[in-house]
A = this chain, B = another copy of it.
Amino acid sequence: MNTMSGPIHRNPLHAQIVEHLRNMIHAGDLGPDEKLNEKALCEQFGVSRTPLREAFKVLSAERLIRITPHYGASVTALTVADLEEVFPIIGALEGLAGELACTFITDDEIAAVERMHRDLVRHYEARDRAQYFVSNEAIHAAILNAARNPTLAETLRGLSGRIRRARYHANLSEERWHSAVAEHEQILSKLKARDGKGLAHVLQAHLANKLATVRATIQDTTRPDQSA
C-alpha cells in the first residue's frame, strides 16, 4: 500500500494528556489556582504517572500551569496584570504580521480575506456573536499566514493560548462591537492597499481597544457585590 507516503504519525501518551489538560483548562473544568492531584488525574485518565508528569512539564512551559517543587502543580490564574502585559505584545506581533503580510500576500489570499470580511459583517448584522468571532479569528489567521513567518505564528499562538481563558466575548458591548467592525474595515482596506505600516498601526490599535474591553469586563466580574 503505497498510498501512505511520509512518516507514520505517532501520538505519544504524554502529548495526548497535554491536549486533554489544555482543553480542560480552556473549558474551565480546571479553574484558576486549582491543584492538580496526580493520583486523581491518573485514575480519571486511566494512565500512569509518568506521562502525566511529562505533560505537566509541557503545560508548565506554556504557563498554563505552575509546578512548585515538592508541592505539586496548579492551574495558573489569569490576572488583569497578565492581560495588560500580554495584549501589547500581541499587538506588536500582530502589527509585525500585518507588515509582513503586505509584503508577501497574494491576490488570491486577499480575495479570501475579503470573503471572510463579508462573512464577518453579515454575522454582525445578524447579531450572531459566535459566528462573528469565528470569522474574526479566520481573518487574523489569514493575515498571520500571509506573513510567512512560522516562528511568529507559533509565538502568537503561545501568547494567545495564555489569555484564551479571559471570557470577554459574551460581554462585548454594542458600541465596542460597532467600533471593532469599523476597525476591520480599515484592516481590509490597508491590506488591499498592501500598506504595511498602515495595517500594523490599525492592528495595534485594534488590540489596544480589545484590551480596554477585556479590562472593563474583568472589572465587572470581579467587582465586590456591595448589595450582598
Contacts and interface: CB of A to CB of B under 8 A. Distances in A.
A57 interface: yes
A165 to B, nearest CB: 15
A86 B15 CA distance: 26
Interface in A58-78: 58, 60-62, 69-70
A171 interface: no
Nearest to A89: B152
Interface in A1-40: 10-12, 14-15
A149 B92 contact: no
B149 A159 contact: no
Interface string A68-96: 01100000000000100110110011011
A224 interface: no
A88 B100 contact: yes
A155 interface: yes
Contacts of A82: 151
7 contacts: A57-B57, A57-B58, A88-B100, A89-B96, A89-B149, A92-B92, A92-B96
Given A14-B57, A53-B54, A92-B92, 5 more contacts: A15-B69, A54-B54, A88-B152, A89-B149, A151-B159
